Structure 1
Amino acid sequence: MKKIISYSIGFSFMLSLLVACGKKAEEKKSLADEDQIAVKIANVVQANSNEEIKASGLVASLQEARLSFKTGGIIAKIYVKEGQNVAKGQLLASLNLTEINAQVQQATEGVQKAERDLRRVTNLYKDSVATLEQVQNLTTALNVAKQNFEIANYNQGFSKIYATSNGVIVKKLMNEGELAGPGTPVFFMNATGSNDWVLKVGVADKDWTRLHLGDKATIQIDAFPDTPFTATVSNLSQGADQSSGLYQAELKLNTQGKKLATGLFGNTLIKLNISQQNTSVPIDAVIEGNGNDAFVYVVENGKAHKVAIKVISIDNDKVFIQNTSSLITQVITDGSAYLVEGSKVKITQ
């Protein structure tokens, strides 16, 4: 009987203790609900924003050339190697001229024969033996023979390849003894002067419409991670690339004395010459960014209210946003990371 009474007293004590603890927890929770989070606020302002376009591409020579023979034939001699520097006017390759020289000789003899025929018929015409029509026909034949000679002589001159500028042979595409067709590239070369390098990038149509010749840009080339390069927009394509759908822009590089090569990869940031006023908030106020979507907190009736925003651009410590609501005049900066919707806040200086 004593044991039963003892157990009853113990159970009552434990129950009282749990009730007391529950009341304390409720009181603590109630006090926590009343806690205010200290925050700082900043004004939303209108400021000028200089928009920027990010792009990437490959370094290329401004004077790239795919050199070829005008006429077809067997390559007799190649005088340069890949990677070799060449000077403007330097002989790079020549064809076997046996066939071409024969064509020139044939055209020469054709002119000589046409001249003899015309002289003979002209004399006969003076003696009233030949007709005027015969004289006119042979005059035409002489003119045609001279033109054939000019064609053969011209082709003979372009049976050798010369460097079109000072540069380097990037690729040798054919070898001695191969049959080169008319216009088939034999060399790929580019100029190597300090003013001959560009970064070719692809941009979307909406960015292409905002670009202008002369826009300034900064370029970071992977091969020179510690050297920022300056550049200007020097050319804009007037049509989209059929494979990528992007529009090509060329940025003329200031090499700063660095040795560049075709194919180096680079990232660029193009600063547009378009300045416009946009709504600006401190970068510390922006939370939960995802692409152009983000949020800020504003104070309404002593509580934090979460507002969605659209980011246009970022400039150092300022974020330019679309002015989606003219009611947003102030945003929470310090303390925003600790807030949830409806948190009670206390504004501090």
Structure 2
Amino acid sequence: MPRFRLRRWQLAAAVLALLLITAWLFAKARGPELPGYTVEAGPVVQTVVATGRVAAPSRVQVGAEIAGLVVARHVMEGDRVAPGDLLVELRAQDLQAQRDEAAAALAALREAELPDARARLREARARLAQAERELARRRELGERQLVTREQIEQAVQAEIAARAAAEQAQLAVEALAGGARETQARERLAAAEAALARAEVRATVAGTVLTRGVEPGDIVRAGDVLFEIARDDPGELRIPLDEKNLARIAVGQPATGIADAFPDRPFAATVHHIAPAVDPSRGTVDVRLRFGNEVDFLRQDMTVTATITTGEAADALVVPDDALLEVDEGRGTALVLRVRDGRVQRVPVKLGLRGLAMSEVREGLQAGDRVLAATALARDALPAEGDRVRIDEQPAPKTGADRSRGELPVQLD
């Protein structure tokens, strides 16, 4: 009986060994299990991601037009100002005195000299009328030979003198009432007021104060810059972009910005300027993005990451970048290892939108094809054409896609 049991145990062990050997041979015949993906069709968005800073498109420097002592400063950095807002007051007693003197001179002209000139004009006109009557009377008497010719000539001279005096008085009134003298007095007053106004430094544009370089008690000179104001134009981001991405960037492309200080407040922007030259020391090109005035939480020189949409495809075949071999960026071609019926096929493909995680394949593959994650394998472990392999299905790389739109953004540095 023990002998029979021993034989049964040996037979079971032999059968199990045979099954294991058969399974091993079957697995070996199917080939090794390697990581891979299934090619899927869907929309794809290509983006360029770069970091830059907030920059005001227009900075206005406000300075002093005259020298003087600062007696008051009314704004600080970050304050909002409108055109005409008072920024700084300078001490200006001498200019105030000149303005008061000019104003007093104009008032004296209008209130004293002008009434006196008008009175002299009335008196001159009365004398002229009297001289005209006297001349007429003597001429009448002369016709009757009751007065001498000499008396008539004296009356004529008196009338001429009275007329000249009246004309001179008229000119004096005209000079004082809107004429040359009043104009001159008004101009002196205007010049004095303009000089006094320069003692008050005011904002010339609407914007935000960026820097201030003055405090009460400081002595400033004409031409000194006291404030720098960022004009209220649409804001800008200045992005130093790697020159390898220059061909993908165009004016008008949409972008999304995220400030390091406000990561939960993304905002829309648009490419509106690309520098005409590349910085040779850094190998970058400056790109300016403009955003609207509604984005009011950004500050000058704040760090912002911009994601620029450089290309879109509504229905594209997308494969992970680690499935691409022998990539030729210039020609836009690559090689993939496709697995069909359990065997490897080396397939050349034509690439479209490119990125760090995913790429569009325009020719060479179809939806549903399965490809190996070739770059994840060691070079000596790459299967050859016709080798048998099995695919260990891997999930597609995550690239921060907007799942609500079903997009697969392609990010480029």
TM bucket (normalised to shorter chain) is 0.5 to 0.7
The equivalent of 1:117 in structure 2 is none
The equivalent of 2:319 in structure 1 is 282
Q: Measure, in 2, the Cα distance between the counterparts of 1:246 and 1:315.
A: 19
> Which amino acid is the alignment partner of residue 165 of structure 1?
V
- Could you tell me which runs of 5 or more consecutive residues in structure 1 were left unpaired when the two chains were aligned: 1-22, 105-149
Out of 33, 42, 48, the residue aligned to residue 53 of structure 1 is: 48
Shift of 1:173: 1.9
RMSD: 5.3
Contact 1:44–1:329 (Cα < 8 Å) also in 2? no
Q: Measure, in 1, the Cα distance between the counterparts of 2:205 and 2:98.
A: 30
Aligned partner of residue 264 in structure 2, secondary structure: coil
**Residues 219 and 298 (structure 1 numbering): CA distance in 2 closer, same or farther, change over 3 Å?**
same
**Residues 240 and 197 (structure 1 numbering): CA distance in 2 closer, same or farther, change over 3 Å?**
same
Give the structure with the larger helix fraction.
2
Aligned partner of residue 34 in structure 1, secondary structure: helix
- Residues 1:263 and 2:301 aligned together: yes
The equivalent of 2:252 in structure 1 is 214
Shift of 1:209: 5.5
Out of 268, 278, 287, the residue aligned to residue 230 of structure 1 is: 268
Per-residue CA deviations over 1:123-160 (Å, capped at 9, x if unaligned) read xxxxxxxxxxxxxxxxxxxxxxxxxxx99997775554
Aligned partner of residue 313 in structure 1, secondary structure: coil
Shift of 1:174: 2.2
Per-residue CA deviations over 1:311-331 (Å, capped at 9, x if unaligned) read 952499x5136x8xx7x5466
- Residues 1:341 and 2:385 aligned together: no
Contact 1:59–1:266 (Cα < 8 Å) also in 2? yes
Please list, as runs of the form range in 1=range in 2, the aligned pairs for 1:195-206 lying within 5 A after superposition. Answer: 196-206=234-244
Contact 2:260–2:304 (Cα < 8 Å) also in 1? yes
Aligned partner of residue 234 in structure 1, secondary structure: strand
- Residues 1:313 and 2:351 aligned together: no
Bigger-Rg structure (1/2)? 2
The equivalent of 1:248 in structure 2 is 286
Out of 73, 78, 81, the residue aligned to residue 73 of structure 2 is: 78
Q: Measure, in 1, the Cα distance between the counterparts of 2:316 and 2:28.
A: 34
- Residues 1:184 and 2:221 aligned together: no
> Which amino acid is the alignment partner of residue 216 of structure 1?
P
The equivalent of 1:87 in structure 2 is 82
Per-residue CA deviations over 1:55-82 (Å, capped at 9, x if unaligned) read 2212233443332224555434322233
Per-residue CA deviations over 1:259-286 (Å, capped at 9, x if unaligned) read 33223221111123x6799995423873
The equivalent of 2:201 in structure 1 is 161
**Residues 49 and 226 (structure 1 numbering): CA distance in 2 closer, same or farther, change over 3 Å?**
closer
Aligned partner of residue 77 in structure 2, secondary structure: coil
Q: Measure, in 2, the Cα distance between the counterparts of 1:287 and 1:93.
A: 65
Contact 2:339–2:371 (Cα < 8 Å) also in 1? no
The equivalent of 2:131 in structure 1 is none
Q: Measure, in 2, the Cα distance between the counterparts of 1:235 and 1:43.
A: 37
Per-residue CA deviations over 1:17-39 (Å, capped at 9, x if unaligned) read xxxxxx99998875553233578
- Could you tell me which runs of 5 or more consecutive residues in structure 2 were left unpaired when the two chains were aligned: 1-17, 100-189, 393-413
TM-score, normalising length: structure 2: 0.48
**Residues 69 and 307 (structure 1 numbering): CA distance in 2 closer, same or farther, change over 3 Å?**
farther
Contact 1:306–1:341 (Cα < 8 Å) also in 2? no
Q: Which moved more, 1:263-272 or 1:177-186?
A: 177-186
Give the structure with the larger strand fraction.
1
Please list, as runs of the form range in 1=range in 2, the aligned pairs for 1:92-111 lying within 5 A after superposition. Answer: 92-97=87-92
Please list, as runs of the form range in 1=range in 2, the aligned pairs for 1:88-167 lying within 5 A after superposition. Answer: 88-97=83-92, 158=198, 160-167=200-207
Shift of 1:252: 1.9
> Which amino acid is the alignment partner of residue 282 of structure 1?
V
Q: What number of residue pairs does the alignment pair up?
A: 272
Out of 197, 211, 236, the residue aligned to residue 171 of structure 1 is: 211
Shift of 1:90: 0.5
% identity of equivalent residues? 21
